[in-house]
Homo-oligomer: A and B are copies of this chain.
Amino acid sequence: MLETLKSEVYKANLELPQRGLIKYTWGNVSAFDKASQLFVIKPSGVNYDEMEPEDMVVCNLNCEVVEGKLKPSSDMPTHAVIYKKFDDIGSVVHTHSPWATTWSQSGLEVPAMGTTHADTFYGAIPCARFLTPEEINKNYEYETGNVIIETFKEKHINPHEVPAVLLRGHAPFVWGDDCQSAVMNAVVLEEICKMNIFTRQLNPFAQTLPQEILDKHFERKHGANAYYGQK
C-alpha cells in the first residue's frame, strides 16, 4: 500500500538528522496521498538505523491506523488535523531543531528580517498559544492540531504562503507540497531563526524587510510569474 510514498517518507525522515534538524528520533515526517485520503507517517520512537521503508504506518484522517505493524508517531493526530483542515498540503514535518525551538520557547513570532525568509515565507511565522489544561487532558496531539488551525484562522494567514508554525513551549511544525519541500522549509525556518536572534542582538533597531522586497522575493519564487529555477 502506497509503497512509493512510504519510501519517500522514509528517506525524508532520515534527512532530518542528516541536515542537522534533529538528534536521535526527535522528529517525524508524513506525506499525504490525495487519491486515497490517507497519509504515511514514521513509526513512534524507532531507531533510524533499524528503520525500513515498510515500517512506515498508513493512517486516515480520523487518526486511525489503516496499515502497519508498528505504532505511528505519537504526533500523528496533529498531522491528521493539518491535512484535514488545510487544503492541498502534501507533507508535514515536525522537528525540535534548536533555533526554531528556541523561538517556540520564547513565545514570539519570527519576523521577516531578510530575503532568506521572503524566498519561502510570505510574512511572519506565527507562534501558537499554549494549550489549556482541558485541551491537554482531552486529546493532546489532536488539540495541538486544532490550535494550529485556530492560529492561522485568527491571524488570517494562508498556510500556503506561510508553511510553518511554532508551538509555544514546544517546537515547529512545517509543511509543503511534498516531503522534499517540507523538509527544505524546515531547514529554511531553522536558518532564519538562527539569523534573526543575532540580527536583533546586533541591532535592536533593525527593521523588518520592506513590504515591496518581501513581495518581490516571494513572487519571484512562488508567484504566477515566478522566474527562479528552470520552470
Contact = CB atoms under 8 A, between A and B. Distances in A.
Interface of A: 19, 23-24, 26, 43-46, 70-71, 74, 96, 98-99, 101-108, 113-116, 130-131, 133, 136-137, 140, 169-171, 184, 187, 191, 194-203, 206-207, 209-210, 212-213, 216, 220, 227-230
Given A24-B187, A136-B213, A169-B213, A74 B106 contact: no
Contacts of A207: 107
A230 B71 contact: yes
14 contacts: A43-B230, A45-B229, A71-B227, A98-B191, A102-B195, A104-B114, A105-B196, A106-B206, A107-B203, A130-B210, A136-B212, A137-B216, A169-B210, A201-B201
Given A136-B212, A191-B98, A228-B74, A197 B201 contact: yes
Contacts of A199: 102, 105-106
B201 A26 contact: no
A133 B229 contact: no
B210 A115 contact: no
A230 B44 contact: yes
Nearest to A118: B169
Given A115-B171, A213-B131, A230-B44, A108 B202 contact: yes
Nearest to A45: B229
